[in-house]
Amino acid sequence: MKLLHPGEVIDGFEIEECVHAGGMAHIYKVGYAPAADGTRREPEFSMAMKIPRMTAGDGAENIISFEIEHQIMPTLTGPYVPRFVAAGDLSRIPYLVMEYVQGQTLQHWLDRGEPLAPDEIARLGAAMAKAAHSLHRQNVCHLDLKPANVLIRPNGEALLLDFGLSCHAHYPDLLAEELRKAVGSPIWIAPEQVVGVRGDPRSDVFALGVMLYQLTTGEAPFGEPASAGGMRQRLWMDPVPPRKRRPDVPEWLQEVILRCLAPVAAERYPSAAHLAFDLTHTQDIRITERGRRTQGTGFAVHFKRWLRAAGMQYQPSPLPSQQIEQVPIVMVAVPYKDVSDATLYSLREAVSRSLGIRPGARLTCVTVIGTGDTNATESHKSETSVHRWHLARLQQWAQPLDLSDHQTSFHVLESGDVADALVKYAEGNQVSMIILGAATHGLQMQRFVATVPIKVAMEAPCTVILVKPNLPFEQLAAA
């Protein structure tokens, strides 16, 4: 379609200016056109119109990808995607009108040409991972995450753009039906996408790992392959360790990046929420040989992977929402005072049951202390010592649990409002399930006094399990 000029009107939207002319679409800032009586409706937010390029030389991918975005965009909600406004009739004038968001794409940080501090890389990575997790919870895999498609808002949150190559589990996958080749951007495409598998949220985790590698080293981990054979190499190849390219890279950052870039999806982070958690709590990252290495993987390992990849049969993925529900972040709130042995025992039993049926789930143990809250034995200690004491206590509480297959972290929060602190922690860390003790007050009292468990259950963004204290050996002793 020809380039539109300011003042032109399409279905009640007036073109203001062209803000992007890409290979697949033109993006215009638009407003509402004046009505017949000269009045003009003011939009609630700035708007942009996307119109696909459909010239004789453009491939079928352009119109197919626009059809996909046309069907997916109206279904997406949340702060990590532009708000949908309107869509044009595909048979007449194809267009999408959506929110126009101010900010810098991730490409801005890459174009600066100077190394970023690890903390800034972690901040950007966590923002992207939270946005990707929000998509996956809506059964959408982006499948084309790259610096140009990630916008960083002024408040630091990430906004994802361009859903033309995406896959929605509840809608027909037009790209898979129409094309029999790998679809995606060569630098960021995941190994399973190379062989035609679409719909695995861990493909987006791989793309996030590529961008983290770029932010860290300034290089693409697998170069810029121009052929299908070049892209297939990532089915068995590992990239050069970031610490070899940049010796000052901390081990925790390399651990995160290389885990995202594992050739087999099952060896990556099980969900983008787990990635966001690690990048938000870098002190809790478990360092393995992967994070310490400074030399590339040997030929023998690559050869074994090549043999495996030659006969590999990728299986279709389950619904993204189901897949991430199988590996939740489980939070247990452990009180530190006025708590009985029965409550501590029952909380541990509930955690054990929850983790036992969810291999790969992550456990975060949290306790909330009051602002400046110290007891008689702690009055002479510094604030740091108080936190250390509570951390040691949390770790001691968790010792009887079998956590060999679960990443675990411990956090001491300080707040005058326990319920509010727990809810905000759950919101900020994509917690899927909160386990806490039920109130020991009588039901009559709870009608007049909102207890911490009741407040958390009412306001939490996830499932809440209230555990009734029960200590079996007390009953045995009584008998």
Q: Tens-of-pLDDT digits for all 479 residues of the chain? A: 678 899 999 999 999 999 988 777 889 999 999 988 888 899 999 999 999 887 655 556 778 888 899 999 999 999 999 999 999 987 788 899 999 999 999 999 999 888 899 999 999 999 999 999 999 999 999 999 999 999 999 999 999 999 999 999 998 888 776 655 677 789 999 998 888 888 899 999 999 999 999 999 999 999 988 787 888 888 888 899 999 999 999 999 999 999 999 998 999 999 999 999 999 999 999 999 999 998 877 777 777 777 777 766 666 667 888 889 999 999 999 998 878 888 899 999 999 999 988 889 999 999 999 876 555 444 445 668 888 999 999 999 999 999 988 999 999 999 989 999 999 999 999 999 999 988 654 444 445 456 888 899 999 999 999 998 877 665 555 54
CATH number assigned to the domain comprising residue 431:
3.40.50.620
Decide if 3 is inside a domain: no
Q: Residue 30, Cβ neighbours under 10 Å: how many?
A: 26
Asked if residue 195 and residue 344 are part of one domain, the reply reads no
Q: Strand 167-168 to strand 140-141: parallel, antiparallel, or no bridges (unpaired)?
A: antiparallel
Give residue 477's pLDDT.
Answer: 55
Q: How far apart are CA 312 and CA 183, in angstroms?
A: 19
272 and 254 in a common domain: yes
Is 209 within the bounds of a domain?
yes
Q: What is the pLDDT of residue 57?
A: 58
Q: How many CB atoms lie within 10 A of CB 353?
A: 12
Rounded to the nearest 5°, which phi and psi values hold at 382?
-75, 165
**Secondary structure (H, E, C), 93-151:** CCCEEEECCCCEECHHHHHCCCCCCHHHHHHHHHHHHHHHHHHHHCCEECCCCCHHHEE
332 found inside a domain = yes
Structural domain contains residue 104: no
**SS3 at position 444:** helix
> Of 431, 193, 207, nearest to 325 (Cα)?
431
In 3D space, the residue among 209, 196, 218, 34 whose CA is nearest the CA of residue 115 turns out to be 218
Residue 329, pLDDT score: 96
Same structural domain, 263 and 359: no
Q: Which amino acid does the sequence have at 419? A: A
Q: Closest by alpha carbon to 225, among 200, 265, 193?
A: 193
In a domain, 2, yes or no: no
Q: What is the pLDDT of residue 469?
A: 85
Domain that holds residue 46: 9-99
Instruction: Judge contact between 42 and 23, C-beta under 8 A.
Output: no
What does the block give as tokens for 221?
A: 């981990």
Question: With contact defined as beta carbons under 8 Å apart, do 260 and 188 qualify?
Answer: no
Of 283, 280, 260, 285, the residue nearest 270 (C-alpha): 260
Q: What is the helix (H) or strand (E) element at residue 388, kind and residue range?
A: helix 383-398
Residue 198's SS3 state is coil
Rounded CA separation 320/317 (Å): 8
Q: Considering 37, 68, 99, which residue would you say is the last residue of a domain? A: 99
Handedness of CA 62, 63, 68, 72 (dihedral sign): positive
Residues contacting 419, CB < 8 A, separation 6+: 452, 455, 456, 459
> Which two three-digit tokens encode residue 456?
């958390």
**CA–CA distance, 274 with 407 (Å, rounded to integer):** 10
Q: Give me 365's structure tokens.
A: 């143990």
Domain end position, chosen among 323, 345, 368? 323
CA distance 15 to 30: 5
Q: How many domains does the chain have?
A: 3
Encoding tokens for residue 252? 């925790």
pLDDT of residue 376: 40
Q: Would residue 4 count as lying in a domain?
A: no
Which 3 state secondary structure label does DSSP give 16? strand
1 lies in some domain: no
Three-state DSSP at 332 gives: strand
Tell me the residue ranges of DSSP E strands in 354-447. 362-369, 408-414, 433-437
Do 411 and 345 belong to one domain? yes
